Amino acid sequence: MLDLETMKLFFAMLTLVTNVVVVAYVLLVVAAVWSKQAGQLKRRFHELIDGYELLLAAVVAGTATLGSLYLSEIAHLPPCRLCWFQRLIMYPTAVALAIAAWKRFVQVRIPIMIEVIVGAGVAFWHYLLQYNPSWQGTSCSLEVPCGQVWFRVFGFISIPYMALSAFLFVLVMMIALGVNQADVSRHEQEEVAAHRG
């Protein structure tokens, strides 16, 4: 079985991959406002993942779910109260995305976006508490304080950072799904108009 150090590095590398996708997407969206080339790159990105948005989101949410279970059940790192809130959002999101990817049920997009925005908010607050434990007040237990840092890979990737990265990746995939669905609707309307004309 892989030891905790190996798994921490593995999870950190996956986290960095999701970070690259999220940051690159945000930069493309912003740059596309001023640059035609960035707009073309953004369109290529959308074309590249068209039809795979739900699957990619499901894989990341599922990996985050399995990762959290590994850390608590195999590595025996007890989750704090904020960890549980993040799990309460991530676990059903992973299941819903897996089913939606299988059935190609794109209508799940808005509810998933709402869930992951809330989850990202909780994860971000948790990440801040790790740098400012005095902010946690009485909302977290003394046995497992929310400011507890079990590890920081590369000096900044902790458990709530990993969760935040997964939530943001899923959000980007749902945004991309919306863009691709809008493109499909626009093409269908253009074809109908062309046939009528």
Q: Report whether 112 contacts 61 (CB < 8 A).
A: no
Give the pLDDT confidence score for residue 51 in this predicted structure: 92
pLDDT above 90: residue 185 = no
Confidence band, pLDDT 50/70/90 cuts, at residue 182: confident
pLDDT above 70: residue 159 = yes
pLDDT above 70: residue 33 = yes
Residue 197 within a domain = no
Please tell me whether residue 196 adopts helix, strand or coil conformation: helix
Residue 10 within a domain = yes
**Contact partners, residue 51, CB within 8 Å, separation at least 6:** 180
Residue 196 within a domain = no
Q: What's the 3-state SS for 115-150?
A: HHHHHHHHHHHHHHHHHCHHHHCCCCCCCCCCCCCC
List pLDDT tens digits, range 46-99.
999 999 999 999 999 999 999 999 999 999 999 999 999 999 999 999 999 999
Residue 64 within a domain = yes
Residue 173 within a domain = yes
Give the pLDDT confidence score for residue 146 in this predicted structure: 85
Domain extent, residue 88, equals 4-188
Residue 108 within a domain = yes
pLDDT above 70: residue 1 = no
Cβ neighbours around 110 below 10 Å, total? 10
Residue 70 within a domain = yes
Give the pLDDT confidence score for residue 186 in this predicted structure: 60
List pLDDT tens digits, range 97-156.
999 999 999 999 999 999 999 999 999 999 999 998 777 766 677 778 888 899 999 999
Residue 194 within a domain = no
What are the start-end ranges of the H helices in the chain? 4-32, 36-49, 53-69, 81-103, 109-131, 159-196
Which CATH number covers residue 69?
A: 1.20.1550
Give the dihedral of Cα atoms 9, 12, 14, 20; nearest 10 deg: -140
Q: Report whether 58 contacts 101 (CB < 8 A).
A: yes
Q: How many residues does the chain have?
A: 197
Confidence band, pLDDT 50/70/90 cuts, at residue 2: confident
- Tell me 75's DSSP state: S
Domains held by the chain: number: 1
Residue 52 belongs to what H/E stretch?
none
Q: CA 25 to CA 44: how far, in whole Å?
A: 11
pTM above 0.75, yes or no: yes
